[in-house]
Amino acid sequence: MFQASAPGKIILFGEHAVVYGRPAIAAPVTGVQATATVTPGRPGHGLVLELPDVGQRVAVTADSAQQPLAHLAALALHALALDPPPAWVVTVRSTIPLASGLGSGAAAATAIVTALAGAAGVALDPAQVSALVYESEKRFHGTPSGVDNTVIAYGQPVWFVRGQAPEPFALRRPLTLVIGDTGIASPTSIAVGDVRRAWQAEPARSEALFDDISETTWAARRAIEEGDGATLGRLLDRNHGALQALGVSSAELDRLCRAARQAGALGAKLSGGGRGGNMIALTAPAQASQVTAALLAAGATRAFATQIA
């Protein structure tokens, strides 16, 4: 009846600091995606969410507060003025690994909202989709900055500052990245909560690290605009160092970043919440397969090259 897809995402620069008002640069990753399909359901049964990847089937009711995606679907029904709820089944499938820093939750939510709007014959703009998805992000991880829902709903690289309209971001040259997965599931909420506790305990130390990340992100913006890959690589390394100091890296992420650099990457960092999940490495296009192989040899459970254009 109606199908919509949403990409995964990576944070190029600025994760965690973005929760505290600093800028971030994020980009969609089209090699992985979530897809929502709306089909007719049983009359009188209202809206049902099928999540085969996690073995769940949830009836969407006005007080679907427990399951974040069901809560999101209830909000979408309200926003789309679908009252009473139509007897539809929304089936969500995703190739984005869960809790891996690639925006699996925001992508599933974006696909659901877009598919419901399409099935209802309503056109929603990216800002409306993003605002709805932000509500479910709050369920997933407490104090989200909004960067994940924004980059996924807009489907293009963005310069993002919390509370401000996102700036779609122009790249002078496409960037070749290799994304490596530690295979360790790490919910964003845990890393974000730990960073908050450290900030409450030692605000000056955390603020200094956020400022350092902010400087790196501004410098990265200039390097991207100038097409200066070598500088961008060094800035990725610097951002990774600040994230290590914030306590959100891990031995596995550090090992994969080192392996990527040794295999010729221009720079590497963790991407997203950290602790586990994915890292990214910037490479010259010709180096991408070598870096991918090095990541797999160093223990990545999967690694793939992608272009951010």
Q: Is 16 in the site for ligand MEV (CB under 6 A)?
A: yes
Write the binding mask 140 to 159 for ligand MEV: x where contact by CB under 6 A, - elsewhere: ----xx-xx-----------
Q: Which x/- pattern, by CB under 6 A, does the window 50-79 give for ligand MEV? A: ------------------------------
Taking the least distance from each CB to ligand MEV, the nearer of 16 and 88 is 16
Least separation in angstroms between residue 142's CB and ligand MEV is: 9
Nearer to ligand MEV, 88 or 169 (CB): 169
Say if strands 2-13 and 267-270 run parallel, antiparallel, or are unpaired: unpaired
Per CB under 6 A, 192 contacts ligand MEV: yes
**Catalytic residue (choose from 83, 125, 148, 181):** 148
DSSP label of 164:
S
CA-nearest of 118, 101, 95, 114 to 34 is 95
Q: Which of 147, 157, 134 is nearest to 29 (CA)?
A: 157
Out of 19, 256, 280, 298, point to the residue binding ligand MEV (CB under 6 A).
19
Residue 100, interface with ligand MEV (CB under 6 A)? no
* 272 in contact with ligand MEV (CB under 6 A): yes
The token pair at 288 is 């991408």
Report yes or no: 135 and 75 within 8 Å, Cβ to Cβ: yes
Residue 4 or 192: the one with the smaller Cβ distance to ligand MEV is 192
Based on CB atoms, which residue is closest to ligand MEV, 23 or 272? Answer: 272
Compute the distance between CA of residue 126 and CA of residue 110 in angstroms, rounded to an integer: 10
The shares of helix, strand and coil residues in the chain, as percent rounded to the nearest 5, are 45, 25, 30
Give me the least distance between CB of 76 and ligand MEV, in Å please.
21
Question: How far, in whole angstroms, is CA 199 from its chain's centroid?
Answer: 23
> Is 148 marked active-site?
yes
276 binds ligand MEV (CB under 6 A): no
Binding ligand MEV by CB under 6 A: which of 18, 112, 158, 298? 18
Residue 97 DSSP code: P
Residue 192 or 219: the one with the smaller Cβ distance to ligand MEV is 192
Q: Which stretch binds ligand MEV (CB under 6 A): 16-24, 51-59, 213-221, 237-245?
A: 16-24
Give the whole-angstrom CA distance, residue 174 versus residue 157: 11
Q: Give Cβ neighbours of residue 121 (< 8 Å, ≥ 6 apart).
A: none
- Rule CB under 6 A: choose which of 4, 6, 11, 79 binds ligand MEV: 11
- Please give the residue whose beta carbon sits closest to ligand MEV in the complex: 145
Of the candidates 299, 308, 257, which has an alpha carbon nearest to the alpha carbon of residue 281? 257
Of 148 and 252, CB closest to ligand MEV: 148
Whole-angstrom distance, CA of residue 101 vs CA of residue 32 = 12
Nearer to ligand MEV, 18 or 257 (CB): 18
As beta bridge partners, residue 280 has 179, 269
From residue 125, how far is each of 103, 128, 131, 303 by CA, in Å?
20, 5, 10, 33
CB of 51 to ligand MEV, least distance (A): 21
3-state secondary structure of 59: strand
Q: What's phi and psi for 6, nearest 5 deg? A: -140, 140
Judged by CB under 6 A, does residue 283 bind ligand MEV?
A: no
Task: Rule CB under 6 A: say whether 181 interacts with ligand MEV.
Answer: no
Q: Which residues contact ligand MEV by CB under 6 A?
A: 11, 15-16, 18-19, 101, 144-145, 147-148, 188, 192, 272-273
Give catalytic residue positions.
Answer: 148
